[in-house]
Chains A and B, each alone.
Chain A
Amino acid sequence: MSKEIVTIKDLKTYFPIDKTKFVRAVDGVSFNIKEGEIMGLVGESGSGKSTIAYTFMGMYKQSGGEIVFNGKTITTKDNKRDMLFKKDAQIVFQDPGSSLNPYQDVRQILSLPLKVHKIVSPDKIDEKILEILDMVELPASFMYKSPNSIGGGEKQLVSVARALCSNPKFIILDEPTSSLDVSIQAKIINMLLKLHKEKKLTYMFITHDLSLMRNISTKVAIMYLGKMCEVAPTEEFYKSPMHPYTQMLLSSIPVISEEEEALKPKKVVSTGEIPSPVDIPKGCSFHTRCNQKMDICCIEDPMMNEVSAEHFVRCHLYK
């Protein structure tokens, strides 16, 4: 029975726009991540997937709900995190360009977490940096390079290396390869999977690319306008997607072979616009675009139900 590294209960993150209106970026999300899992979080813009990650890390204040990391509950009012959290939980952002300080070289960038968390003594720092560069298969000569002289894929590898410096237990990867070419993406993903096995890490992997998700995650959760629509183990998720939004998303992925076409659910053409997160529709937030909506969908917001082993759906069709 693996330990739960992350437990999120009914997490809410609201951003006030003025005295009365809020953007409900995350609106009551619950899930858990067990040790060794790679949890995938999928959604379109405005779904709140990145906001969950940022709230967890402490970049945004929670407006409600509970976060438990590695057994310790994080108090609601505060978005401060203690040093142990900062050591054990790391994040890699999407944009390689602004994730690295252009006025520092790789050595300075990697020595920061080593110094802050006193991972090694000051005289052993260079050695440790070389060890870490070796882990992400970057050459030793990278130590004195500045971010301007290395490519996007390599910058992301440096960001990953930085995340590994503090020997973390849990790493959040927020669309780490979205701005990279497919050939470089493959390298980075391979690297992440290798590290996951070698260092026994746990990941939360956020992306909008469903084909990529299929190959990397052990569990997938799909978000829409701040709420979770469906959570299931990966194979189950792709084999029998239940929520109409999941089906819509899966049916619009561009694929490159006939066999993949056959795996996609029947084509659901999306109609209408994605509602703005300020003005979320009443009832089930997806009903404005749903092709299987019923009367109740416009009035009542469905609850999350377990339809089969570990497979949860939030939809009136499956009560």
Chain B
Amino acid sequence: MMIKTNDIEPKAKHGFLKESTKNNLRIYKYNFSKNKLSILGLIIVLICIGFALFAPYITPYPQHAKEFVDFNNASQAPSLKHLFGTDVFGRDIFTRVIYSFQGALIMAIIVLGISVPFGVFLGLLAGYYNGSWIEVLIMRLTDVFLALPPLILALSIASVLKPNLTSSMIAVTLMWWPWYTRLVFGMANTIRKEYFVKIAELIGASRLHILFREILPSCLSPILTKMALDVGWVILIGASLSFVGLGEQPPNPAFGQMVADGSKYMPDLWWMTIFPALGIAFIILGFNFLGDGIRDMFDRGRQ
């Protein structure tokens, strides 16, 4: 007797998530929430995202994030009117710190958004074609990039380009992808030997299908974990670049740039350095805790 498709439970077919995914999500939530720090991390990250999205609405002096001078109010210590004090140009530091979250998160999103797919794709190719010239080409190129110290590489690239946020993003993207290639190469090399991949080949599936539908899903957990932990690193490197003047240019605020400017006046006008530095620490800490949580979430050993 032929069973029609209508006979299948609508929930199973039309539900937003597959039954198997729902099961997995339950386990993920259980594993993730076991560690209180991960939840704290998640909250911090959500706050940072909130800062970035709603900066114009939650800051008292949004215009201070652009071209603005008010020498009458310059170098004021923290007060009720200016929570984090003002800088040498009279701009409210609290406002500028909040606005800096925008640049940091944009940097993380763009850098990872480009380098990860690129690096993962190369890693899949190299792993699947292990032994052929494709793998040799890709992995030796990866080796070259990885051999150079990351910060030096970023600095050299950024110094060649016009100094602004875009250039620092290009620089960090260019040095970030090899880590993902190496990560995925090892995994793809192992997974391609699994029977279900061989069957897909024997059935005649296209190479793209095999790479993205058969091999990639098994690699996702380590990739996502690494991405979560990498956000902190990208932001830190971005801050390092802007510290030496190779990132976001004034009058736009950036963490590293503000720390650099304020460092000249330490320790007297301490608020100009300390608060931006705390801003960096806050966002990096948040992403680190979150990253640990994501790693635990995928840790099937607990089951």
Interfacial residues, chain A to chain B (CB-CB below 8 A): 57-59, 83, 86-87, 90-91, 93, 95, 98-105, 108, 112-113, 116-117, 126-127, 130-131, 134, 140-141, 143-146, 148-149, 159, 162, 166
Q: Does B301 interact with chain A (Cβ within 8 Å)?
A: no
A-contact 0/1 string along B177-208, CB 8 Å cutoff: 00000000000000000111011101111100
> Do A116 and B205 form a contact, CB below 8 Å, given A141-B8, A144-B13?
yes
Known: A86-B203, A117-B204, A144-B13. A131 touches B2 (CB 8 A): yes
Cβ of B3 < 8 Å from any Cβ of A? yes
* Contact (A105, B203) CB under 8 Å given A134-B3, A141-B12: no
Q: Which residues of B contact A83 (CB under 8 A)?
A: 204
Interface size class of B (residues with CB under 8 A): 20 to 34
The yes or no answer to B217 lying at the interface (CB within 8 A) is yes
Q: Given A140-B7, A144-B13, A144-B20, are A112 and B200 also a contact pair (CB < 8 Å)?
A: yes
Nearest CB in chain B: distance from A66 CB, A: 21
B132 within 8 A of A: no
Q: Which 8 A-B pairs have the closest CB atoms?
A: A146-B20, A103-B217, A86-B204, A101-B196, A98-B195, A99-B195, A144-B12, A140-B3
Which residue of chain A is the closest to B5 with respect to CB atoms?
Answer: A126
Closest to B15 in A: A144
Is A112 a contact partner of B19 (Cβ separation < 8 A)?
no
Q: Are A116 and B203 in contact (CB under 8 A)?
A: yes
Cβ-based interface call for B248 (8 A)? no
Given contacts A93-B195, A134-B2, contact A145 B203 (CB under 8 A): no
* B8 & A143 in contact (Cβ 8 Å cutoff): yes
What is B's interface to A at a CB cutoff of 8 Å?
1-5, 7-9, 12-13, 18-20, 23, 194-196, 198-200, 202-206, 209, 213-214, 217-218
Question: Which residues of the other chain, A, contact B204 by a CB distance below 8 angstroms?
Answer: 83, 86-87, 113, 116-117
Q: Is the CB of B194 within 8 A of A98?
A: yes
Asked whether, in the complex, the Cβ of A59 is within 8 Å of the Cβ of B5, the reply is no
- Rounded to whole Å, the gap between the CB of B104 and the closest CB of chain A is 33
Given A130-B2, A130-B3, A145-B20, are A101 and B203 also a contact pair (CB < 8 Å)? no
Instruction: Say which residue of B9, B12, B202, B214 sits within 8 Å of A101 (CB atoms).
Output: B214
Q: Which residues of A contact B3 (CB under 8 A)?
A: 130, 134, 140
A–B complex contacts, Cβ < 8 Å, 24 sampled: A86-B203, A91-B202, A93-B195, A93-B198, A93-B199, A101-B217, A105-B18, A105-B20, A112-B200, A112-B203, A113-B204, A116-B203, A116-B206, A130-B2, A131-B2, A140-B8, A143-B13, A144-B12, A144-B20, A145-B19, A145-B20, A146-B20, A149-B20, A159-B199
CB-defined contacts of A100 to chain B, threshold 8 Å: 196
Return chain B residues, CB-CB under 8 Å to A141.
8-9, 12
Q: Enumerate chain A residues within 8 angstroms of B217, measured Cβ to Cβ.
A: 101, 103-104
**How far is A159 from B202 in the complex, measured between Cα atoms in Å?**
13
Q: Are A103 and B218 in contact (CB under 8 A)?
A: yes
Q: Which residues of A contact B2 (CB under 8 A)?
A: 130-131, 134
Residues of chain A within 8 A (CB-CB) of B200 are 112
Q: Assess the A113–B203 pair: CB atoms within 8 A.
A: yes
By beta carbon, the residue of chain B nearest A86 is B204
Q: Once bound together, how far apart are the Cα atoms of A86 and B198, in whole Å? A: 12
Contact B20 A148 (CB under 8 A): yes
- Report B-chain residues with C-beta under 8 Å of the C-beta of A146: 18-20
CB-nearest residue of chain A relative to B19? A144
Chain B residues, CB < 8 A from A95: 195
| In the complex with contacts A130-B3, A141-B12, A143-B8, A98-B19 CB distance below 8 A | no
> How long is the Cα–Cα vector from A162 to B213 in the complex, in angstroms?
17
| B213 proximity list for chain A (CB < 8 A) | 104, 108
Establish whether residues A127 and B5, one from each chain, have CB atoms under 8 Å apart when the complex forms: yes
A240 to B3, CA, bound (A): 49
Residues of B within 8 A of A104 (CB): 213, 217
Q: How far is the CB of A117 from chain B (nearest CB, A)?
A: 7
Nearest B residue to A140, CB-CB: B3
Provide the bound-state CA to CA distance between A127 and B2, in Å: 9
Complex-state Cα separation, A59 to B2, whole angstroms: 37
Kindly provide the distance from the CB of A120 to the nearest chain B CB, expressed in whole angstroms: 13
Taking CB atoms, residues of chain A closer than 8 Å to B7 are: 140
Most B CB contacts (10 A, CB to CB) among A58, A101, A130, A149 go to A101
**Interchain CB contact under 8 A, B199 and A91:** yes
- A86-B13 Cα distance, complex, nearest whole Å: 30
In the bound complex, residues from chain B placing their C-beta under 8 Å from that of A140 are 3, 7-8
Give the distance in Å from the alpha carbon of A162 to the alpha carbon of B19 in the complex. 21
User: Once bound together, how far apart are the Cα atoms of A87 and B205, in whole Å?
Assistant: 11
Instruction: Find chain A residues with CB under 8 A from B9 CB.
Output: 141
Residues on A with C-beta less than 8 A from B209 are 112
Chain B residues whose C-beta falls within 8 Å of the C-beta of A86 in the assembled complex: 202-204
